[in-house]
Amino acid sequence: MQSLKSEFPIFETARKEGKPLIFLDNASTTQKPHCVIDAISGFYTGYYANVGRGLYWPATAASSSYDQAREKVRSFIGASSKKEVIFTSGTTDAVNKVVNSFLLPQLKNGDEVLVSEMEHHSNFVPWQQACESKGAQLKVIPLDAELNLNLSQLASMLTSKVKILAITAISNTLGVKNDLKSIINLAHQHNIKVFVDAAQLPLSEKIDVQKIDCDFLAFSGHKVFGPTGIGVLYGKQALLENMSPLAYGGGMVQKVSIDETIMADLPSKHEAGTPNIAGAIGLAAAIDFINLVGVEEIGRYGAELRKYAVKRLSEIEGLTLLAKEAEGTAILSFTMEGIHPHDIAAFLAEKGIAVRAGHHCTHPLMHKLDIGGTVRVSFNIYNSTEEVDLLKNTLDEIKSFFL
């Protein structure tokens, strides 16, 4: 796996005061391999044109690449049809679109929406605001003492008032993975639709939307080696067909007259305007890269680094690991007694080690834990046990500097 680092040009070029970049902020975003950068620049330099309109060759080539990108995403998440794959600008955009087109038209005073206590603000605020606008209630499924989702509490909250359950696959702060299949199965027993925030899932395990039977699922390209500004909304075909368009404009219509507009079929119906063509092409290259390395291999490597980090950081007295026992993810949060997370992150940054400190867009979780923030490290295929050792040694230094 070590040799794969050379696939990421940033590690050859990026130096601060001669120090190499040690990038442990992969839950926030991932670095880009050569093949993704080349695919994007190849589009702009080789066959750039708009999609779905022109009959001249760069336009047909661009359209065909855009269509192939959708097919790659379909296969990547195990959807049964390309009609179920809608390109968005990211996870946040996808959540907002489902809120606006699926939830709001049916939400009434007294209805409920369920989210969990570990949600990222992107999978919390849009649902909360929708509830507020209609006099509905946002209910929050609590976590247990080990910071896992409390499934028996969840079961007791599933009533006929609930219009949708929105749940993250993996907590971006704790690295806790939820048992999606059981959660979705429970919700479906009560006829409740489930939206899965899969922003942290694609590099952890192979996604199979048919197997987990989710109704909606979303992820972002930039967290899976792809570019920013592109993401995916998966929805079951019948649901996407029944929803009003996520936006109106060109490219999503069959026929327009002064009196009425007949919408295009899926997926175009939900993609108004010129799409992020370069983003989709970059995402397709990222998916090729992931498939070449192997999702399972990537997931295993990240989870092993987390396990190793748990072992090494446990040696530091006064350092508390959160959700220490969590398995199968590459995200680990900790606090250090007497030292502010931002001081830790700033000190690490001086050594060229990139980590994230703060609330990680999970205020409700911080509130539950009664802390202001954590330091979060998150691993990927270009990280190594040597980097974890360096992190551990630098944290020792930080401790003697501040305390």
Using CB under 6 A, list all residues that contact ligand PMP: 27-28, 90-92, 120, 122-123, 168, 172, 197, 199-200, 220
Q: Please state the closest distance from residue 147 (CB atom) to ligand PMP, in A.
A: 15
> 231: which strand partners?
88, 220
Burial of residue 60 (CB within 10 Å: 0-12, 13-18, 19+) is middle
Dihedral, CA atoms, 40, 43, 48, 51, nearest 10 degrees? -80
- Closest CB to ligand PMP among residues 117, 197: 197
In order of 24, 76, 168, 195, 291, the CA distances from 149 in angstroms are 26, 27, 10, 16, 30
**Strand 85-88 vs strand 231-235: parallel, antiparallel, or unpaired?**
antiparallel
Q: Please state the closest distance from residue 209 (CB atom) to ligand PMP, in A.
A: 17
Q: Please state the closest distance from residue 207 (CB atom) to ligand PMP, in A.
A: 14
E strand spans, 326-394: 331-336, 353-354, 356-358, 374-378
- Closest CB to ligand PMP among residues 78, 358: 358
Name the strand (E) or helix (H) holding 231: strand 231-235
- Closest CB to ligand PMP among residues 199, 319: 199
Cα distance between residue 32 and residue 223, in whole Å: 10
In order of 80, 104, 339, the CA distances from 71 in angstroms are 10, 30, 48
Q: Please state the closest distance from residue 239 (CB atom) to ligand PMP, in A.
A: 20
Please check whether residue 194 is in contact with residue 164, taking contact to mean a CB–CB distance below 8 angstroms.
Answer: yes
Cα distance between residue 233 and residue 88, in whole Å: 6
Q: Please state the closest distance from residue 360 (CB atom) to ligand PMP, in A.
A: 7
Q: Please state the closest distance from residue 138 (CB atom) to ligand PMP, in A.
A: 17
- Closest CB to ligand PMP among residues 26, 394: 26
Active site residue 214: no
- Closest CB to ligand PMP among residues 58, 328: 328
Which of 35, 131, 214, 361 is labelled catalytic? 361
Rg (CA), the chain: 22
- Closest CB to ligand PMP among residues 123, 268: 123
3-state secondary structure of 378: strand
Active-site residues, by number, are 361
